[in-house]
Amino acid sequence: MSNFDLSVIIDNLPFLWQGLQLSLFLTLLAIIGGIILGTFLALMRLSGIAPLSLAAAGYVNLIRSVPLILVIFWFYFLVPLALGRPIGGFYSALIAFVMFEAAYYSEIIRAGIQSVRKGQVQAGQATGLSYWQIQRYIVLPQAFRNMIPILVTQGIILFQDTSLVFVVSLRDFMTVSSIVARTEGRLAEMYVFAAIVYFVICFAGSLFVRHLQKAKTT
């Protein structure tokens, strides 16, 4: 390790920062999209209307049975076929992540909804609120409050998974690190640096989750 040269990192910092921005941006959008779609899937699943809940259950089970990388490929090749024009790596990856993560989020959200006391629903019904009003004003706000730690945990996993977008030639943080490593011939430095960056972000995330859990129990 005598010739461990850190200047390669500093020299390429703007390029690396661009990659990290893409990773974080993709993570953020995929979390938001995944939670919105996941909420609808969870509500469909719990609606008690057979076609809706079967469709949602089928979707969730299908997505959870295939590797993420395959879903990314699907959307990269299938969406342009369906639309008749290419939409680019970023949008196809974003759609793939949203669709994929929604399946996982919907299971978390379903558990969160079921954790809200049945009496709360009855209280809403007794007031004359409709099914959707009860979900919107009574159940979901309480469910999300209970779920925030586990939603953040899923977000950390999602952040790590964004490194897979190299398969559709997107320049995320992992990809740009590899590019620098190979073009500068500094493999050890770059891969150690990438590991540290991922570790710091994810560990900060899990500390945040622990803080949320503590705040919830007190």
Partner 1 sequence: MIKIENISKWYGTFQVLADCSTNVDTGEVVVVCGPSGSGKSTLIKCVNGLEPVQEGAIRVKDTEVTAKKTNLTKLRSQIGMVFQHFELYPHMSVRDNLCLGQQKVLGRSREEADAKAEMLIDRVGLLPHIEKFPGQLSGGQQQRVAIGRALAMDPIAMLFDEPTSALDPEMINEVLDVMVELAQDGMTMMVVTHEMGFARKVADRVVFMDDGRIVEDRPTEQFFGNPDSERAQDFLSKILNH
Minimum CB distance to partner 1, residue 131 (Å) = 9
Counting contacts by CB under 8 A, is residue 48 touching partner 1?
Answer: no
Counting contacts by CB under 8 A, is residue 7 touching partner 1?
Answer: no
Per CB under 8 A, the list member of 82, 119, 217, 218 interacting with partner 1 is: 119
Counting contacts by CB under 8 A, is residue 126 touching partner 1?
Answer: yes
Counting contacts by CB under 8 A, is residue 145 touching partner 1?
Answer: yes
Name the residue nearer to partner 1 (CB basis): 117 or 182: 117
C-alpha 181/C-alpha 109 separation (Å) is 40
Site string for partner 1, 62-101 (x = CB under 8 A): ----------------------------------------
Name the residue nearer to partner 1 (CB basis): 33 or 124: 124
Name the residue nearer to partner 1 (CB basis): 117 or 211: 117
C-alpha 182/C-alpha 174 separation (Å) is 12
Minimum CB distance to partner 1, residue 143 (Å) = 10
Of the listed pieces 26-34, 50-58, 121-129, 191-199, which binds partner 1 according to CB under 8 A?
Answer: 121-129
* Residues that bind partner 1 in the complex, under the rule CB under 8 A: 117, 119-120, 122-123, 125-130, 133, 137-138, 141-142, 145
